[in-house]
Amino acid sequence: MKYVYGVTSRSARVPPDVQTVVHGDVAAVTSDVDTRDLRARRRDLLHHADVLQRVFEHSAVVPLRFGVVVDDVVGDFLEPRHHELAALLRELDGAVELTVRAVFREDDLLGSLLAADARLAKLRETAPAVQLGEAVAHAIAGRRLADAEAIADTLGRHARATAVDELRTELDVFRGAFLVDRARLKAFDSEVERVARAQAGTTTFKVTGPLPPHHFVELAEAA
């Protein structure tokens, strides 16, 4: 049995600790396993991501999610999906994924909302806690929506595609990924800096990448 990390071109360089199984123009990046019962332990998830990142440094890659194991890499995976995989590699060539997370700083956000809304400031002095809490929650929701749309729209102009993730905490503003041409990385970074400056009073930004295009490929289930 073979564990499959992802797919790259047949001529791509791969790390010495993995192997390739080649079919036509594509190659699966693999390693040997003796079971399908793989646990998603942190070290294994990190190793999976590290292998894909090292392949990605030299070639386009179609990443698979953790845990894909097949008996016959060619017969079960590469041969029936060769045209799709080759097309994906051509489509993703020259592009990278950048993930962006924007998070409110609670105290700074509250101060900004009170400074911008006299009604909210008055409620803080006179209203019951429940009424004030509802008003603050409503104001936060409005600010989050406006700021998230600004992030997605502005950065999306510099990307081939955008993938927006679900928010995980009450202070999350935006979580998502952008598929960006390598040639436009500098322009994308500059735009991130501009947006971050515009929201600097309330929000902290974190950008991760360049990464393989995890958000823009869905092959794990089919594999």
Q: Are 205 and 102 spatial neighbours (Cβ–Cβ below 8 Å)? A: yes
- How high is the pLDDT of residue 7? 97
Q: What is the pTM of this model?
A: 0.88
| Residue among 29, 9, 25, 7 at smallest CA distance from 17 | 29
Instruction: Copy the structure tokens of residue 77.
Output: 């995976």
* For residue 70, pLDDT beyond 60: yes
The average confidence (pLDDT) of the chain is 91
Contacting residues for 131 by C-beta, under 8 A, at least 6 apart: 123
Q: Are 32 and 3 spatial neighbours (Cβ–Cβ below 8 Å)? A: yes
**C-alpha dihedral, 78 to 83 to 85 to 91, nearest 10°:** 170
- Place 223 in a pLDDT band, splitting at 50, 70 and 90: very low
* 57/131: higher pLDDT: 57
Q: Rounded CA gap, 61 and 5, in Å?
A: 10
Q: In sequence order, what DSSP letters do the residues of 158-210 get, joined into one string?
A: TSSEEEEPPP-STTEEEEEEEEEEGGGHHHHHHHHHHHHHHTTTTEEEEEEEE
Structural domains in the chain, CATH included, are 2-93 (no CATH), 96-214 (3.30.70)
